[in-house]
Amino acid sequence: MNEKQYLIDDLNMHESWRIFRIISELVDGFETLADIYPAVSVFGSARSVEGDPVYQMGREVGRLLAKAGFSVITGGGPGAMEAASRGAYEANGKSIGLCIELPREQAANPYTNIRISFRYFFVRKVMFVKYAVAYVILPGGFGTLDEVFEALTLIQTHRIKPFPVIMLDKSYWRDLNSWLRKTVAGKTGMISPEDLELFYVVDDPHEAVSVIKKTVIV
């Protein structure tokens, strides 16, 4: 066997063994999160800092969700994730952090009372969706947008049961909402008008939690 073929075979072997790591992460997630229902997944930027409006909004929505009897799931990191975790933790609720292992280590925030670490983004995403009865989306960047549109796609294509997807802070989401309505649905027809009913855009944490309480049967 030549060196090139050996390297290919070695790579394939490692790829095959990686399946067991993926299975172990799924099993760990399923077993750890079995008792957190009903839960709401909250997303937002890791760049928010304590004292800014997004952080304050996240902390309040976490507190209100916990008071309403919902577990709060976040990515376990800093910023808006920390804020929502903190609000739930301070209200004596279940605060779940689904942390991700990154090349540049993202420290877990201290306000989680259930914490799991994942190597693979897609396994982590399964947990966000599987155990959520709603999504609350705070202002954020690419990662936040990724979670929003994945959830909307899964609901649109009937791959999961529909649940409320709530974008919080109208001023932040205004341009995206306008583009979806005027261009994606209106001018080009890339989505149907009824697809615009798959999400809410609200301006207040109390309103977000009220939408969840009105639309979710637990």
State residue 216's pLDDT score. Answer: 81
Length of the chain: 218
Share of the chain above pLDDT 70, in %: 92
State residue 14's pLDDT score. Answer: 73
What is the spatial distance between Cα 130 and Cα 34, in angstroms, rounded to a whole number?
10
What is the spatial distance between Cα 162 and Cα 155, in angstroms, rounded to a whole number?
5
What is the spatial distance between Cα 167 and Cα 173, in angstroms, rounded to a whole number?
7
End-to-end CA distance of the chain: 60
Q: Is residue 96 scored above 70 in pLDDT?
A: yes
Q: Is residue 2 scored above 60 in pLDDT?
A: no
Q: Is residue 154 scored above 50 in pLDDT?
A: yes
pLDDT band at 11 (very low <50, low <70, confident <90, very high): low
Q: Is residue 6 scored above 50 in pLDDT?
A: no
Q: Pull the structure tokens for residue 63.
A: 């507190």
State residue 18's pLDDT score. Answer: 85
State residue 12's pLDDT score. Answer: 60
Domains of the chain: 33-215 (3.40.50.450)
Convert the pLDDT of each residue in 15-50 to its tens digit.
Answer: 778 889 999 999 999 999 999 999 999 999 999 999
- 3-40: buried (b, 16+ CB within 10 Å) or exposed (e) per residue? eeeeeeeeeeeeeeeeeeeeeebbeebeeebeebebbb
Convert the pLDDT of each residue in 162-197 to its tens digit.
Answer: 999 999 999 999 999 999 999 999 999 999 999 999
State residue 17's pLDDT score. Answer: 80
Residue 43's Cα: distance from chain center in Å? 5
CA-to-CA dists, residue 50 to 13, 56, 113, 195, angstroms: 46, 7, 20, 35
Three-state secondary structure readout of the chain: CCHHHHHHHHHHHHHHHHHHHHHHHHHHHHHHCCCCCCEEEEECCCCCCCCCHHHHHHHHHHHHHHHCCCEEEECCCCCHHHHHHHHHHHCCCCEEEEEECCCCCCCCCCCCCEEEEECCHHHHHHHHHHCEEEEEECCCCHHHHHHHHHHHHHHHCCCCCCCCEEEECHHHHHHHHHHHHHHHHHHCCCCCHHHHHHEEEECCHHHHHHHHHHHCCC
State residue 31's pLDDT score. Answer: 96
pLDDT band at 101 (very low <50, low <70, confident <90, very high): confident
Comparing CA positions, the residue from 145, 211, 204, 155 lying closest to residue 177 is 145
